[in-house]
Amino acid sequence: MKVPKGTPISWSWEDLAAEIDAKIAAHNQDEYAHILGATLADFQANPATGDFSYPQYLNDGSLSTITDPTSVGQYCEVDFGKLVKISRFRHYGYFNSTTDGRFKLEYKDSLGVYHDWVTGIIPVLGKYWSGFDSSGGEVICQGVKLTCTTYNVNSKYFTEMEVIY
């Protein structure tokens, strides 16, 4: 940059630091600006995998196919195949006759690290949708993982799940 002669010097480390901070913040916003909220189609794009029985039934869009674990620690995982924003989920029950089972949903961040998103999830009694749960808040992720944290044979069935923005 050409500066005319006689221009007063008005430079400081503080100004430079502020300018760098502003540029880094703008860059980070740019980096995440293109990440869209997950649609139902995004959540159903890749069949779920894991060691639940028939894990693909978790997100196949059918309310007549169910998946369930046979012990604590088993999981069912959905890969979005890209980074997305999620903010809420709901799930559909089946044979559950008690509220004793517990599950948690983790999200897998952009680096592949898992974080708890919502814990203490209780499978719905009977063939009904839960309400949408947004208690985990908005996060950016590449996938989600449902894990059984308390196993109960009468409280373990998921007919379907939807994790979206």
Shortest Å, Cβ 61 to Ca ion: 7
Region near Ca ion per CB under 5 A, out of 15-23, 56-64, 96-104, 127-135: 56-64
Within 113-142, the residues that bind Ca ion by CB under 5 A are none
Distance of closest approach, residue 89 Cβ to Ca ion, in angstroms:
14
Stretch that binds Ca ion, among 51-59, 81-89, 98-106, 107-115 (CB under 5 A): 51-59
Choose among 128, 140, 121, 123: nearest CA to 38: 140
| Cα angle, residue 136 at apex, residues 135 and 142 outer, rounded to 5° | 145
Candidates 108, 160, 161, 162; binder of Ca ion (CB under 5 A) is 160
Which of 81, 50, 80 lies closest to 158 in space, CA to CA? 50
Beta-bridged to residue 162, according to DSSP, are 90
Which residue, among 118, 38, 127, 132, has the nearest Cα to 78 in the 3D structure?
A: 38
Q: Contact between 77 and Ca ion (CB under 5 A)? A: no
Residues at the interface with Ca ion (CB under 5 A) = 57, 60, 62, 65, 160
